[in-house]
Chains A and B, each alone.
Chain A
Amino acid sequence: MTETQTLPGDTLLYLGGVTVSFDGFRALNALSLVLEKGEMRAVIGPNGAGKTTMMDVITGKTRPDTGKVMFGVNTDLTQLDEPAIAALGIGRKFQKPTVFEPHTVWDNILLALAGDRKPRFSLWAKETAEERTRIESVLETVRMKDQRHRLGGDLSHGQKQWLEIGMLLAQEPQLLLVDEPVAGMTDAETEQTAELLREINKTRSVVVVEHDMAFVRALDVKVTVLHEGSVLSEGSIDNVSADPRVVEVYLGR
């Protein structure tokens, strides 16, 4: 029996035997992963292990060749495209921070706010007091209140990372997929980010991909180690660090 069958109600995300090939090269090789509701999971693994590809599969950017990708108990994500998956409540922060450079910080958050995405609505939409309050609160959370008028393109790398996390929050997703959030951040910023993710995790489920071991340790959550497209090891950071296979392929390099 698999975990999903024993605890169907508690499973938020289920990947079963997912394989993705690019020109014969298997970026994901029968990858399986189960995330419970409310869980935060750290995913680590060497370059090219398939971490980003896994997020591409979950968010509908890449279709798996084989395997199951389920959100909740009965939503098959492989049948949906990116906007539909986003609408279900899966938000994503990219490895390379991607914000709307011609827009202000404020407008970046405004565009990300959960709400109607149809042209018919947005053509007539007026910024409401309620939306303003929500934007203010997101800016507060990511500590960007005084940056609101700056253009996305003018921000530093670290600020873009924060803005993108802010956009993710504004989307109010059930599940956040966060790809390398602390790349380009100072130690202090890294610590703040860990704190922020733990705060977010009080109400939402999170999958974080990160290379920074200090950061992963600070998160203090279950860790999945990917290697060559499949799960090599899973458990607490201390357990996986002690796993000789992990030491060989990753930590011991």
Chain B
Amino acid sequence: MKLDRTAYLTLALSLGVPVALALLNQTTEVGSALHIPTYVVALAGKYLCYAMLALAVDLVWGFAGILSLGHAAFFALGGYAMGMYLMRQIGTRGVYGNAELPDFMVFLGWHELPWYWQGSQWFPFAVAMALIVPGVLAMGFGWLAFRSRVTGVYLSIITQALTYALLLAFFRNDMGFGGNNGMTDFKDILGLNVQADSTRSALMVISALCLCVQYLVARFVVQSRFGKVLIAVRNTESRTRFLGYRPEAYKLVVWTLSAVMAGIGGALYVPQVGIINPSEFAPANSIEAVIWVAVGGRGTLSGAILGAVAVNFGKTWFTGMLPDYWLYALGALFIFVTLFLPKGIMGLFAKRAAKPVAVLEVAE
């Protein structure tokens, strides 16, 4: 795999900034000029998880031409898998003091854990589920959709329907995932207090590491011959068929990989924000993720990370001042980018850096 300047810069910033923030949070005194408050660490951790979601969206949208308007579903499923683990760690510290059942189940009058909660108290199991559940759902969905040659707007609409259906399902109390309220009031992760600043710093650095690994994996995929086929599929799908390629197989692989990446982001997100509820499946969340990618620069990978961090930074800042107008601002931003910055922020940089990865690496 070839790494260019943009790639090194992306890795250096994605890892360097979080590590610096964590060090400044952990090694300096509260009140010192260099101290980074814990809420900043928590925010940075959240942005890094969103960046993983954006990377996942860019992989399918930027390179395979699949505009997913339902990617937050995979993120949320990863989050729920981790949320279940975190619920089980509460034990007798819950309101009802039930060692076996999470509070919401006691409240519903349930007497035993449903079968699908078995194993969730075990961390490696939860991590595995955070990968497997989004992956398997994506594989099933993709198998049906790509095999039937559903593309373009129709595919976007059914991805949106997928996340909406999950939203409605997770709202139901009898699904056994906490209904409307979801899961919250987490206490520990791997025996460490989730609220402690040391845990928060560690989770943020782990998120940064995961983001870097995902970035490298995504780059490897798009620079490989597989990636060239994907770009060919994005450009003229039918032509690839007459050359003997099966675009549905290529899409299925990248789609599933992308869902798993989003799931990892979600699993890291939940312990850092301290809550997971059905609103994470809201169609608007998936659309926001697409906007991050468009703002950063579609088909550049680095741009997805940049877009996710920049837009969410803007969101935090903006909602602090004018909370009611954020959606208008986001819409305006999207229109602005579409009209004036078709290549996103990455397109503003030096011409070489602005070229999509796939084009960059062809020169021998």
Contacts and interface: CB of A to CB of B under 8 A. Distances in A.
A118 B231 CA distance: 15
Contact of B243 (A101, A111, A127, A149): A111
Given A86-B244, A87-B244, A111-B243, A119 B250 contact: yes
Interface in A87-115: 87, 91-92, 94, 98-104, 106-107, 110-112
A232 to B, nearest CB: 28
A122 interface: yes
Q: Looking at B224, B232, B249, B250, which has the most chain A CB atoms within 10 Å of its CB?
A: B232
A111 B232 contact: yes
Given A119-B226, A125-B225, A151 B359 contact: yes
Contacts of A83: 241, 244-246
> Chain B: interface secondary structure?
helix
Given A122-B225, A124-B224, A86 B236 contact: no
A86 B362 contact: no
A98 B250 contact: no
Interface string B252-271: 01000000000000000000
Nearest to A124: B224
Contacts of A171: 243-244
Contacts, number: 87
A83 B241 CA distance: 5
Q: Looking at A92, A103, A106, which has the most chain B CB atoms within 10 Å of its CB?
A: A103
A29 interface: no
A87 B242 CA distance: 9
Q: Looking at A119, A124, A149, A171, which has the most chain B CB atoms within 10 Å of its CB?
A: A119
A119 B235 CA distance: 18
A124 B363 CA distance: 19
Contacts of B241: 81-83, 86
A112 B224 contact: no
Interface string B121-165: 000000000000000000000000000000000000000000000
Nearest to A170: B243
Contact of A102 (B221, B239, B358): B358
Interface residues of B, number: 28
Contacts of A86: 241-244
B35 interface: no
Contact of B362 (A87, A104, A123): A104
A225 interface: no
Q: Looking at A94, A102, A103, A106, which has the most chain B CB atoms within 10 Å of its CB?
A: A102
B228 interface: yes
A106 B224 contact: no
Interface in A39-98: 59, 61, 81-83, 86-87, 91-92, 94, 98
A118 B243 contact: no
B229 interface: yes
A117 interface: yes
B225 A100 contact: no
A167 interface: yes
Given A98-B236, A101-B235, A149-B362, A111 B242 contact: no
B221 A123 contact: yes
Contacts of A92: 242
A94 B236 CA distance: 12
Given A92-B242, A111-B245, A119-B253, 6 more contacts: A86-B244, A87-B244, A107-B362, A127-B225, A151-B359, A171-B244
Interface of B: 221, 224-226, 228-229, 231-232, 234-236, 238-246, 249-250, 253, 356, 358-359, 362-363
Interface of A: 59, 61, 81-83, 86-87, 91-92, 94, 98-104, 106-107, 110-112, 117-119, 122-125, 127, 149, 151, 167, 171
The 8 closest A-B pairs by CB, nearest first: A86-B244, A82-B241, A122-B225, A123-B226, A122-B226, A125-B225, A100-B232, A119-B253
